[in-house]
Amino acid sequence: MNREIHVRFREGVGVRFPRATRLVILCKSESQCKEALRRVKIVMERLGLEMHPEKTRMVNLAWGKEDFTFLGWTVRKRRSIQRNPRWHFVQRWPSPKAMKRIRDRVHEITDVRGRQSRNVGELIGRLNPVLRGWGNYFRTGNADREFNRVDDYVYGRVLRWQWRRGGQRTCFRFSRWPRERLHEMGLHRLRGTVSYPQAAAPRMHSQENSSVSCVRETRTHSLKGGAGNGSL
């Protein structure tokens, strides 16, 4: 590999790749992207490895035309409505698969047919480590919208758990359990926990505003890699 496409592989005795190595190559043009793909294939063949035929693809990120998923993130360019509608910035948020996984886990914990929690406090104690861990991983992106959706889902599942457990359907009142009461009891709230990297901090002070990246189009929103419109 040479410096023209800003990609290097370390080849030598004792150098081993993990079984499933994920790689993103950012290029400035489609021709560079095709050349990078050709050279990567050559290097992989020398190492006795092969590229996944379904997961290997070229994506045009220019002007938000396409996106790709990497390590649980959906990466796509979006316009900056607050700064200049003509500019597009690289943003990232939890992928649909990542959203499904957190919903499945919350559903498992709040399922009355599974392991029973004795009370709401114990249920919250089981939910919080899952929500904190997932939120800490995705909080440095543009995940406000997704965090709000997860909060809504968790709240609905906790109410459903209370309604269905112990035959309390006839006496349970949803109005007695607003969100604030559950959060006062310690339920972790994802809303408002997005923490922007310093290089991508938005020009706003209210946590209620939606995520808007302020990284210019030639940046990668704190993702490792160079500038460009093409992604392999």
Residue-level pLDDT at 63: 81
- Gap between the Cα atoms of 187 and 191, Å rounded: 12
Residue-level pLDDT at 168: 58
Q: How far is CA 157 from the centre of its chain?
A: 22
Residue-level pLDDT at 195: 82
What does the CA dihedral 64, 22, 6, 66 come to, rounded to 10 degrees?
-10
Residue-level pLDDT at 198: 57
Taking the chain (232 residues) in runs of 10, the rounded mean pLDDT of each run is 41 53 85 92 88 87 86 87 76 94 95 79 94 93 92 94 69 79 94 72 44 36 36 46
Residue-level pLDDT at 191: 92
Residue-level pLDDT at 224: 32
Residue-level pLDDT at 166: 58
Q: How many C-beta neighbours within 10 Å does residue 127 have?
A: 22
Residue-level pLDDT at 57: 87
Q: How many C-beta neighbours within 10 Å does residue 90 have?
A: 25
Residue-level pLDDT at 170: 56
Domains of the chain by residue range: 1-56, 96-184
Token pair listed for 182: 């559950």
Q: Residue 52 gets which letter from DSSP?
A: -
Q: Are 4 and 228 in contact (CB under 8 A)?
A: no
